Amino acid sequence: MCRKVNCSTCGKVAWYGCGAHIPKVLDHISQDEWCSCEPKVEVNGNKYPPKAHVCAVS
């Protein structure tokens, strides 16, 4: 399952997870708030921010 996270590069909204739920995570958020990093990910003809890199702390 994908989830909303903040991009560690630009600080804007990105996603992390399997990639199957990107529209469900981002479609209700204004594109002005989306991560502006490249390359974009295309799902059903729509372009979304790239998968965020998330560091786990143990």
pTM, entire model: 0.86
Residue 32 belongs to what domain range? Answer: 3-48
Q: Across the chain, what does the average pLDDT equal?
A: 93
Is residue 28 situated within a structural domain? yes
User: Does residue 24 belong to any structural domain of this protein?
Assistant: yes
Question: Cβ neighbours of residue 22 under 8 Å, at least 6 residues apart?
Answer: 2, 15, 41, 43, 48
The total domain count for the chain is: 1
pLDDT of 32 reads: 98
pLDDT at residue 58 is higher than 70 = no
Q: How confident is the model over 9-30, as a mean pLDDT?
A: 97
Residue 57's pLDDT band, with cuts at 50, 70 and 90, is low
